[in-house]
Structure 1
Amino acid sequence: MEQHVPSRPGGPGRSLRVAVVLLVAVSGGVEAVSFLALDKVFAGVMTSNLALLGMAAGRSQAAGARAALLALGGFATGLLAVALLTRRCAAHADRWPGRVVLVLGADALLLAAGALAWGAAGGTPDPTTRDALQCGAALVMGSQSAAMVAAGRAAAPTTYLTGTLATFITRGVGTGRPGVWVPLRLAGLIAGAALSAGLLERARAWAALPPFLLTLAAVAAACVPLLRPGPPASDTR
C-alpha cells in the first residue's frame, strides 16, 4: 500500500525515496526507447503489451505479435531470475537488502551494454539487434520490478504507476494528506521519458544512455543506508 506520510524513524529514508524516483525515471527512459524506436511495445507495462498482443492477433499482424511476445518473455525472465535470487532476502523498513542492490547493479551493466550496442549502431540497429535490445529492455524492467518487491515496504513500484496514481488520489488527496514523493515519482517517469525521447529526436545515438546513468545514481542512493553504522544486516531469514 502506498504511504503518504513523511519519513519516520524505522521507515525508508530520503536516500531510498530518491532512489525510487530515479528508478522510475529509468523506466520512463527505457519505455521511450522501446516504444518509439524499437517495436512499438512497452518494456515494463505488461498489461498494455497483452492488449497489444491481442490487437496484433486480431489484425493478423505477425510482427506486432512477435514484438509483444519478446517483451513479455524478457519481462518474465527478469522477474523469475530475480525472484529466485532474492527469495530468501529479509525485507527491512529502512534499507534495501544487499542482493537487491546487486540486482540493480547488474541491471546497470545490462543497460550499459544496450546503450553501447545502440550507440554503435547510430541509433538504428539491425533487426536482430533490435530484437535483442527489446528483449533485454523488458528483462531489465522485470528485474527491477522483482527487486522492488523483494525490498518490501522500503521500496515502491517503479515500472507501473497506475495503482500508485489511483492510491494517491483516493487515499492521499482524498483524505487531505497528500505526500510529495508520489508526485515526484510521476514527474520522474515523465522526465525520464522526455529525456530519452528528446535525444531520439536530436542525438539519436545517445538516447539509450540516460537509463544507465540514472540506474547508477539510484544504486548510489540505495547504498547510503547500507554504509551507515549499525548492526550487520542479513539477507536471509
Structure 2
Amino acid sequence: MPTLRSSPDPAGRDTVDDPRGHAALLLLSAASGAADAFVFICVGQVFAGVMTGNLVLLGASAAGAGEEGVALRVVTALVSYGCGVAWGAVTGERVWRRLPVMLTIEVVLLAAGAVLWGLDLITSDADRLGLLALLGLAMGIQGRIRATPTNYFTGTLTSLVGRLAVGSWRRGDGWVAGRLAAVVAGAAVTALAVRDWPATGALAAAALAAAALLVEAAQRRR
C-alpha cells in the first residue's frame, strides 16, 4: 500500500519542466477559456471559473444594476466552484495518484454538460442553473489540479508584465504567455462554435480537458 502524505498543496507542482507538462497546462488554460465563454454566452452573463468577475457582477446586482436573475446565477457559480475546490482539496489529502483522478472527474463533468447541451436537454432557467453548477464544479476542481493557475490569470498577467517592464524575463515565461493566449483561443473557438454550430457550444471545453488528461497520462507513463 502506498503511503499517503497529507498536504494542502494542489495535485501538481508549480514547476513543470517537461514540455508535456507545459502542454497540459496550455490545454487546461484553453479549456478554462472555452468553459467561461460558453457559460457567459449561453447560460447567462456569468462565468464558470472567473470568480473575481462573478463577485463584481454580484456587487453590481446588489446595487440594482445588471440583468434580472444574474445574482442567482452568480451565487450558483460561486457555490459550485467552491464545492469543486473543496472536493479537490480533500482529494489531494486522501487519494493516491490524485492528479489523474481529479482531471478525470473534471472531464466527466464537462462532457456531461456538453452532452446535455448538445442533445437540447437544457430548456429552462432551472436547467441552465444546473448546467452552470456542473461547469462551475469542474472549474473548481481544475483550480486545485496544479499549483500553476489555469483558470484565473490576473496574477499571472500582472507578474508577467511586471517582469517585462523591469527587463527580468525568466526561463519559462514564454509558456506563461502561452497560457494567456490559450485562454483567448479557447474562448474564441467556443464563441465560433456557438455561432455556427450551437449544439457543440460546450464541446470544446470537454475536448480540451480530455486532451490534457491524455497528455498527463502519457507524461506519467514516460
Q: TM-score range by the shorter chain?
A: 0.7 to 0.9
Aligned to 1:120: 119
What SS does the corresponding residue of 1:191 show, helix, strand or coil? helix
Q: Is the 8 A contact 1:78 1:142 kept in 2?
A: yes
Could you tell me how far 1:220 is from its partner in structure 2? 1.1
Amino acid corresponding to residue 119 of structure 1 in structure 2: G
Aligned to 2:141: 143
Using the size of structure 2 for normalisation, the TM-score is: 0.86
CA distance in 2 between counterparts of 1:134 and 1:158 reads 19
- Structure 2 residue 198 is matched with structure 1 residue 204: yes
Structure 1 residues 104 and 48 mapped into 2: Cα distance closer, same or farther (>3 Å)?
same
Aligned to 1:131: 129
Q: Percent identity?
A: 33
| Equivalent residue for 1:35, pick from 29, 33, 40 | 40
Q: Is the 8 A contact 2:26 2:178 kept in 1?
A: yes
Structure 1 residues 224 and 59 mapped into 2: Cα distance closer, same or farther (>3 Å)?
same
The runs of 5 or more residues in structure 1 that have no matched partner are 1-9, 90-96, 150-155, 229-237
Q: Is the 8 A contact 1:29 1:193 kept in 2?
A: yes
What SS does the corresponding residue of 1:180 show, helix, strand or coil? helix
Count of residues paired in the alignment: 205
Aligned to 1:226: 220
- Structure 2 residue 192 is matched with structure 1 residue 192: no
The 5 Å alignment of 1:46-57 reads: 46-57=51-62
Using the size of structure 1 for normalisation, the TM-score is: 0.81
The runs of 5 or more residues in structure 2 that have no matched partner are 1-14
Q: Is the 8 A contact 1:41 1:67 kept in 2?
A: yes
Amino acid corresponding to residue 158 of structure 1 in structure 2: T
Amino acid corresponding to residue 189 of structure 1 in structure 2: V
Amino acid corresponding to residue 56 of structure 1 in structure 2: S
Aligned to 1:109: 108
Q: CA RMSD in A?
A: 1.9
Q: Once superposed, which parts of structure 1, at least 4 consecutive aligned residues long, lie more than 3 Å away? A: none
The 5 Å alignment of 1:10-21 reads: 11-21=16-26
CA distance in 2 between counterparts of 1:140 and 1:23 reads 11
- Structure 2 residue 75 is matched with structure 1 residue 69: yes
CA distance in 2 between counterparts of 1:11 and 1:204 reads 36
Q: Is the 8 A contact 1:45 1:159 kept in 2?
A: yes
Q: Is the 8 A contact 1:29 1:210 kept in 2?
A: yes
